[in-house]
Amino acid sequence: MSLPRHFALIPAAGVGARLGAGYPKQYLPIAGKPMVLHVLETFASSSAIAHVFLVVSAEDGYIRDALAAVPHLAGRVTVIYNGGATRQQSVLNGLHAIREQAGDDDWVLVHDAARPGLTVELIDRLVDALRDDPVGGILALPVVDTLKRAARDVRIENTVSREGLWAAQTPQMFRYALLRRALEQPAEVTDEASAVEAMGLQPKLVEGSPRNFKVTLPHDIALAELYLKGIA
């Protein structure tokens, strides 16, 4: 019996409106290259990853030029032009598209294109922690800040206990068949783990890193550059 393989699946069909760049945020230049290329190169550099799939919208006019600048990725990355209106739909469309390559027991690592701080070491940590796990799991960070719930007038309503709370990151890693079945359920979810949770399962939490944060607002770009340049 062959060992399960690990595939990276990166949904990148969003427009990134909060950054106000005028084009999808995954193509914003960070540390000298489009943000998504940092992600693709990290996965392509990992010996644990059999292949990398990038899901973009059918109208994406940027990815071909971006990949032309990194010809060494040609054999490691496949672009799928069937992104959906939501992350959930993009991931599900991607899973359908790779059906011929991925077996039911193969692992799929879903990662945000806007998390360029991912490292090969973090990928290896997740893969090693979940190798024999019956469910799968995600990278995440324990919450260390004091949490406040706001009232309608933006005043503190109460303090929320942070005990047992983790902030979810990506990759989120599940076996192909389980993940596809979870995302095909009618409920809308914000990430893959919550879709699996809706099936009554409990994904494992694997400690990630502060550098693996999601670039969402303009000031995040400068912080991401510090990490990628090895300054932070």
DSSP designation for 155: S
Q: What is the pLDDT of residue 154?
A: 94
Long-range contacts (CB closer than 8 Å, 24 or more residues apart) made by 217-226: 217/18, 217/19, 218/19, 218/20, 221/19, 221/28, 221/30, 224/30, 224/31, 224/35, 224/116, 224/117, 225/30, 225/31
Dist CA 89 CA 189 (whole Å) = 10
Query: Mean pLDDT, to the nearest integer, of 99-128?
Result: 97
Structure tokens at 182: 């979870």
Cα torsion through 171, 175, 176, 179, rounded to 10: -70
Cα torsion through 136, 90, 191, 196, rounded to 10: -40
The domain locations on the chain are: 6-228
Q: What percentage of the chain carries pLDDT values higher than 70?
A: 96
Tell me the pLDDT tens digit for each residue of 138-149: 999 999 999 999
Which CATH architecture best describes the domain 6-228?
Answer: Alpha-Beta Complex (3.90)
User: Minimal CA–CA distance to 128: which of 144, 158, 107, 147?
Assistant: 107
Q: What percentage of the chain carries pLDDT values higher than 90?
A: 88
Dist CA 190 CA 170 (whole Å) = 12
Query: Mean pLDDT, to the nearest integer, of 217-231?
Result: 90
11: CB partners within 8 A, 6+ apart: 55, 83, 87, 90, 91, 94, 110, 112, 113
Structure tokens at 119: 């490292």
Alpha helices in 99-200 (DSSP H): 120-130, 176-183, 192-197
205: CB partners within 8 A, 6+ apart: 137, 138, 140, 166
Tell me the pLDDT tens digit for each residue of 161-208: 999 999 999 999 999 999 999 999 988 899 999 999 999 999 999 999
